[in-house]
């Protein structure tokens, strides 16, 4: 790993200023960035740790309609602190990686990274959440732009994620047992405005919404309602864990499981 300057600011404003340096990068929990730096896939000149910014940590409780999660909140903290208000989100966070990864990894880091097999993108897109950065709010539908690509500008920090709380929701994950990432994971949320279905792990272009299932489930929220639907294998990931057809089938099966669990 190449050497870099390390900074640990105490406020968002100081972090934004520090990230203005050329080739500076934000450091969340480091659970993705540190392994990438060891492989020299990332070589920032400066790392700006966000773990010392108190205003970016924790789950808010004030607002009845929404749950807001600070951008530097660990997966373990979401699992514990969101359990009462948004159990589907807490359960998803509590199944990311392993306990040590959950004690460091953060929601902001996971979303900024946008790994095509990561769990949080499904919850954020499935809930229709809003990503609040240091200078704007971005709707989930506009945030994810494909593999490891998001709407974030260089140096922009995810300060908070605001989740509207659905009437019913669940996440069903078919886990790749060695990495524990999602081979396919589906987040289903039923709200007064209809149903949203977000799929991670399956598509070559990252997390996506399954519109056909959303329409069918909005009319009838039951696993049977999508029994007749199928997902085309075109554009699904092909690797040693599964063929595109296998993943396309998993999308439907995981959606049905999520609906039954919601």
Ligand X SMILES: Cc1cc2nc3c(=O)[nH]c(=O)nc-3n(C[C@H](O)[C@H](O)[C@H](O)COP(=O)(O)OP(=O)(O)OC[C@H]3O[C@@H](n4cnc5c(N)ncnc54)[C@H](O)[C@@H]3O)c2cc1C
CA–CA gap between residue 254 and residue 188 (Å, rounded) = 10
49 touches other proteins (CB under 8 A): yes
DSSP-assigned states of every residue in 137-186 = EEEHHHHB-STT-BSPPTT--EEEEEEEPPSEEEEEEEE-TTT-SEEEEE
CA–CA gap between residue 206 and residue 204 (Å, rounded) = 6
- What φ, ψ does residue 200 adopt, rounded to 5°? -120, 160
Reading the block at residue 250, the tokens are 């998993």
* 189 in Cβ contact with 196 (< 8 Å): yes
Q: Which does 3 bind (CB under 5 to 8 A by kind): ligand X, other proteins, none?
A: other proteins
6 touches other proteins (CB under 8 A): yes
Residue placing its CB nearer to ligand X in the complex, 150 or 256: 150
3 touches other proteins (CB under 8 A): yes
The interface region with ligand X, picked from 57-65, 100-108, 140-148, 188-196 by CB under 6 A, is 100-108
Q: Three-class SS of residue 215?
A: helix
Interacting residues with other proteins between 88 and 107 (CB under 8 A):
97-101, 103-104
Which residues of the shown chain bind other proteins in the complex (CB under 8 A)?
1-6, 8, 27, 30-31, 34-35, 37-38, 47, 49, 51, 76, 97-101, 103-104, 180
Which residues of the shown chain bind ligand X in the complex (CB under 6 A)?
25-33, 50, 71-72, 96-97, 101, 105-106, 108-110, 112-113, 115, 118-120, 157-158, 180-181
């Amino acid at each position: 790993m190449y050497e870099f300057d390390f900074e640990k600011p105490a406020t968002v404003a100081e972090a934004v200023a520090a990230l203005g340096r050329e080739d500076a990068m934000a450091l969340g929990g480091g659970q993705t960035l540190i392994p990438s730096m060891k492989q020299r896939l990332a070589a920032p000149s400066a790392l700006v740790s966000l773990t010392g910014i108190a205003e970016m940590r924790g789950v808010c409780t004030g607002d009845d309609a929404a749950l807001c999660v600070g951008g530097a909140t660990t997966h373990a903290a979401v699992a514990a602190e969101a359990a009462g208000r948004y159990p589907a989100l807490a359960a998803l966070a509590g199944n990311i990686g392993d306990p040590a990864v959950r004690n460091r990894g953060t929601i902001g880091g996971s979303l900024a990274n946008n790994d095509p097999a990561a769990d949080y993108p499904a919850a954020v897109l499935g809930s229709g959440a809003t990503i609040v950065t240091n200078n704007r709010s971005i709707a989930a539908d506009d945030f994810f732009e494909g593999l490891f690509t998001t709407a974030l500008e260089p140096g922009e920090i995810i300060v908070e994620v605001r989740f509207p709380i659905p009437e019913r929701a669940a996440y069903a994950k078919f886990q790749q047992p060695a990495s524990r990432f999602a081979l396919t994971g589906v987040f289903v949320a039923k709200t007064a405005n209809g149903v949203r279905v977000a799929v991670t792990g399956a598509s070559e272009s990252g997390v996506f919404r399954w519109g056909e299932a959303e329409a069918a489930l909005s009319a009838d929220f039951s696993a049977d309602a999508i029994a007749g639907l199928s997902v085309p294998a075109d554009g699904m990931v092909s690797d040693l864990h599964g063929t595109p057809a296998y993943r396309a089938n998993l999308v439907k099966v995981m959606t049905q499981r999520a609906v039954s669990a919601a």
